[in-house]
Structure 1
């Protein structure tokens, strides 16, 4: 399965390392959110994977993965990714959509947080859900602490497990995907 990875920072770099180790997975390119050097760009360079600043320049692929991607991926780009774009969001969707999901989890004093792997569509974190996992928010924990302790590792694990499963199955099974 030929994959393109969108994203930034530690989460995207860790997902890149994990999925390049999967059998049957070939990461063709990465598209970092920023033109500044970051963990994703450095990891891609170390692995010999091309990095593109412009989404429109990306090669066709079987699927794209979005790990800590905070850019809108337009339909023209998503349509070049055979199965679509599989993304991670640090909340139990449909709760707390958008960029500040972890901050809203804390502001609402939610005792449980979690992460969702879903298929991107034209909405903000509204596509069909592929996988979810929850965790407790510890008393006195900050948004950055729950992100580092649980939500970021959940994202790496869920994206890697989902990509591994889809690579073995040759894609998603429509009856398993649930619209929100």
Structure 2
């Protein structure tokens, strides 16, 4: 049984929680969201999974013992070294760009404004930087002429993140 902690918010973290809850051999033991009323926290409460809220940094004392992997989905908090070290396989996050290109919170807008016709998503091992860790998996999507920043995220990049997480978890099992 793989013991998972999910850190994140909104649609992507909620869908990741649904995915993990549906997968045999995955046990979500904790969810951390920025607000108790976030849709991910609400779902976790409904599934009787413990929920905590986090600020700008997640510390080792915020991480339960015995976690195999921490999954970061639309998380905008820093996971410090002690917290990552407490987790058997560290923390893995999704970023909506083909890292190392377009790091940070404005990655989608930056690619869009730059006139890119191809972007994608990256699953990566978190380290001490922002979006700088070892890339584990990537996939690309086309930016079409009728895309907007919102449609690119909602229609392509967020679902791609879920696909990359699913592939990672299946390989981990």
Which band: TM-score by shorter chain? over 0.9
Structure 1 segments unaligned to the other structure (5+ residues): 169-180
User: Considering only aligned residues, what root-mean-square deviation do their CA atoms show, in Å?
Assistant: 1.1
Secondary structure of the corresponding residue to residue 30 of structure 2:
strand
> How do 1:123-162 and structure 2 match up within 5 A?
123-162=129-168
Name 2:64's counterpart in structure 1: 59
Equivalents in 1 of 2:132, 2:161: separation in Å? 17
Kindly provide the CA deviation profile for residues 131-151 of structure 1, in whole angstroms up to 9, marking residues without a partner as x.
Answer: 111110010321111001100
Equivalents in 1 of 2:151, 2:83: separation in Å? 34
Kindly provide the CA deviation profile for residues 45-98 of structure 1, in whole angstroms up to 9, marking residues without a partner as x.
Answer: 111110012443330201100000111111111111111001000000011011
Name 1:108's counterpart in structure 2: 114
Name 1:76's counterpart in structure 2: 82
Secondary structure of the corresponding residue to residue 127 of structure 2:
coil
Name 1:21's counterpart in structure 2: 22
Aligned residues: 166
Name 2:123's counterpart in structure 1: 117
- In terms of fraction of residues, the more strand-rich structure is 2
Equivalents in 1 of 2:32, 2:157: separation in Å? 22
Equivalents in 2 of 1:118, 1:83: separation in Å? 12
Secondary structure of the corresponding residue to residue 121 of structure 2:
strand
TM-score, reference length from structure 2: 0.92
Equivalents in 2 of 1:66, 1:17: separation in Å? 14
Greater relative CO, 1 or 2 (CA 8 Å, sep 6+):
1
Structure 2 segments unaligned to the other structure (5+ residues): none
Name 1:41's counterpart in structure 2: 41
Secondary structure of the corresponding residue to residue 87 of structure 1:
strand
Equivalents in 1 of 2:8, 2:83: separation in Å? 14
Secondary structure of the corresponding residue to residue 78 of structure 2:
coil
Question: After TM superposition, what 4+ stretches of structure 1 lie above 2 angstroms from structure 2?
Answer: 54-58
TM-score, reference length from structure 1: 0.89
